[in-house]
Amino acid sequence: MIGAHSDDIEIGCGGTVMRLIRDYPDLCVTWVVTTAHNERMAEARQSANAMLAGVNHHEVLVGPFRDGFLPYDGAAVKEYFEGLKRVQPDLILTHYGRDAHQDHRLVSELTWNTFRDHMILEFEIPKYDGDLGQPNFFVRLDSDLARAKVEHLLEHFPSQHGRRWFTEELFRSMMRIRGMESNATDGYAEAFYCRKAVI
């Protein structure tokens, strides 16, 4: 999974990652955060390591780039992604290509640019810009996983608690809407955009 900022992976696909870990004991995970500094770097690492605690083979990579400036550090970011080609994953979870945040968009673009024949699912991040669309791929979550995702976010990102949107209600509401759309048994799901699927 590849996220731009320290909490993007957890917000966008934390429940799906938890479900994959539960359902596939031999999972091998590379977790990439491209921009995180100071306390946000510590939070990114602690959160990822906590979520992946039960995964035998995992690595957590945190890039050195500036929050908000990713497209303007383009050449260096492209080099960073070239270095990720050593990993050949079966599934990649990354940002939605039409996300309103410039960092998110570049991460999505370079993911597609780097991994040419891989299964890529794009997750969504709620934001002030209001860019939620119509995803076409849903991962249903039981109520235990939905609760675990929210608890994980609130526990591991104390630096974000001052933001009015960083709340249990918001995270649960997102999963509830996508759960309704996918008629999930327990009512919760995470949603993705699948642009290309190859079998």
- Output the smallest distance, CB 165 to Zn ion, in A: 12
- CA-closest candidate to residue 143, choices 1, 18, 10: 18
Footprint of Zn ion on this chain (CB under 5 A)? 4-5, 8
DSSP H/E element including 187: none
Residue 4 or 77 with smaller CB distance to Zn ion: 4
- Output the smallest distance, CB 42 to Zn ion, in A: 17
- CA-closest candidate to residue 182, choices 140, 121, 130, 127: 140
Q: Is 133 helix (H, G, I), strand (E, B) or coil?
A: coil
Residue 7 or 55 with smaller CB distance to Zn ion: 7
Residue 4 or 62 with smaller CB distance to Zn ion: 4
Strands 57-62 and 28-33: what pairing? parallel
- Output the smallest distance, CB 8 to Zn ion, in A: 4
Residue 19 or 104 with smaller CB distance to Zn ion: 104
Strands 2-3 and 119-123: what pairing? unpaired
- Output the smallest distance, CB 33 to Zn ion, in A: 9
